[in-house]
């Protein structure tokens, strides 16, 4: 089943004193791929600023902008319309001989080695060793099930810089943490895995068309098992029509929605609001 959704993502900052210049990157524009088509996407800033667009190393579309007019607040509003499709069938046929081949390991080496936020310790390596032997798909499913069962979704217990090890020790976190723990274990098993950021419509399959709801930024993983396949370990479901892909990378460090530097006083976040409307 195909969905059409509009996503409006608003981020605001207030500064303690006047900012004379700021330099920013936004990763807020949904991607087009096998199961997703971006029909339109805009990023509007206040104050207004000239924008440049490019794709980063991981294929994410980045909007960069500089604000040189003095300002005490910055607002960034990204509005997109996308069509999404049902979850792809899992690639169950791939065997370990394929994943362990030199060609695959060379091609995906950056997604097989640990990354800064998905660096395993002895406890996470032990989790990988405890996973029963099986085909890669079965091994992947058991690994993410163990993570899902151990790390409870509990907002407010972790921060943006929390590592996979810290989330595992706490036994709690948000989608970002659950994705990081999953990545640490999957890579330890020899399964290429990448971090995906985007949005999740909070409604079920019967979400009301035309109703705007409070959505959320979301994170999940994709594994390479002969082809890339997305799985949401927070909700223990394949990534499907409710998921909107924005950015991919090794971990959150590669995909922050908005980052930048500025000249001026300290800043205070005015918060992030995500509104999602199912259009069809």
pLDDT in tens, 169-198: 999 999 999 999 999 999 999 999 999 999
Q: How does the average pLDDT of the chain come out, rounded?
A: 96
Full DSSP string of 1-39: --EEEEEEEEEEEEEEEEE-EEEEEE--SPP-BTTEEEE
Choice among 101-105, 267-271, 275-279 with the minimum mean pLDDT: 267-271
pLDDT at 1 over 90: no
Q: Over pLDDT 90: what percentage of the chain?
A: 93
Rounded to 5 degrees, what angle do the CA atoms 198, 239, 257 make? 10
pLDDT at 204 over 90: no
Alpha-carbon radius of gyration of the chain? 19
Bridge partners of 64? 25, 52
Kindly list the structural domains of the chain, giving each domain's residue range(s) and its CATH number in brackets, ordered by start: 3-85+256-278 (2.60.40.2250), 96-254 (3.10.620.30)
What's the pLDDT at 133? 75
Instruction: Give the tens place of pLDDT for each residue, 63-97.
Output: 999 999 999 999 999 999 999 999 999 999 999 99
pLDDT of res. 132: 85
pLDDT value, residue 267: 75
Distance between CA 212 and CA 277 in Å, rounded? 4
Return the bridge partners of 66, or none.
23
| Mean per-residue pLDDT, 246-259 | 97
User: Average pLDDT of 46-74?
Assistant: 96
The predicted-structure confidence for 120-147, as pLDDT tens digits, reads as follows: 999 999 999 999 879 999 999 999 999 9
* pLDDT score of 268 more than 80: no
User: For the whole model, what pTM was predicted?
Assistant: 0.96
Angle, vertex CA 245, rays to CA 124 and CA 76, nearest 5: 110
- Structure confidence at residue 263 (pLDDT): 87
pLDDT at residue 210 greater than cutoff 90: yes
Per-residue DSSP letter, 118: S
Is pLDDT of 33 > 80? yes
Q: What is the pLDDT of residue 162?
A: 97
Q: In what order do the strands lie in the sheet with 51-55?
A: 51-55, 61-67, 21-26, 258-263
Model confidence at 270, pLDDT cuts 50, 70, 90, reads confident
């Amino acid at each position: 089943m195909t969905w059409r959704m509009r996503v409006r993502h608003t981020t605001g900052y207030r500064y303690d004193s006047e900012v004379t210049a700021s330099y920013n990157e936004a990763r807020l524009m949904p991607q087009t791929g096998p199961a997703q088509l971006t029909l339109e996407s805009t990023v509007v800033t206040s104050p207004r600023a000239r924008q440049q667009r490019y794709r980063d190393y991981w294929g994410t579309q980045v909007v960069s902008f500089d604000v040189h007019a003095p300002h005490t607040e910055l607002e960034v509003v990204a509005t997109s319309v996308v069509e999404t499709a049902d979850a792809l069938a899992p690639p169950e046929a791939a065997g370990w001989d394929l994943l362990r081949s030199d060609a695959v390991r060379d091609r995906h080496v950056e997604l097989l080695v640990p990354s800064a936020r998905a660096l395993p310790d002895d406890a996470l390596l032990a989790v990988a060793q405890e996973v029963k032997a099986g085909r890669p798909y079965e091994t992947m499913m058991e690994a993410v099930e163990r993570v899902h069962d151990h790390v409870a979704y509990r907002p407010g217990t972790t921060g943006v810089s929390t590592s996979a090890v810290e989330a595992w020790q706490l036994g709690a976190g948000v989608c970002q943490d659950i994705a990081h723990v999953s990545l640490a274990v999957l890579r330890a098993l020899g399964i290429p895995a990448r971090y995906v950021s985007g949005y999740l419509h909070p409604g079920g399959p019967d979400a009301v068309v035309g109703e705007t709801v409070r959505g959320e930024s979301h994170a999940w993983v994709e594994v390479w098992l002969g082809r890339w396949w997305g799985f949401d370990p927070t909700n223990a479901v394949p990534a499907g029509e409710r998921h909107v892909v924005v950015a991919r990378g090794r971990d959150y460090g590669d995909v922050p929605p908005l980052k930048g530097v500025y000249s001026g006083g300290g800043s205070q976040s005015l918060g992030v609001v995500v509104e999602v409307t199912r259009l069809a």
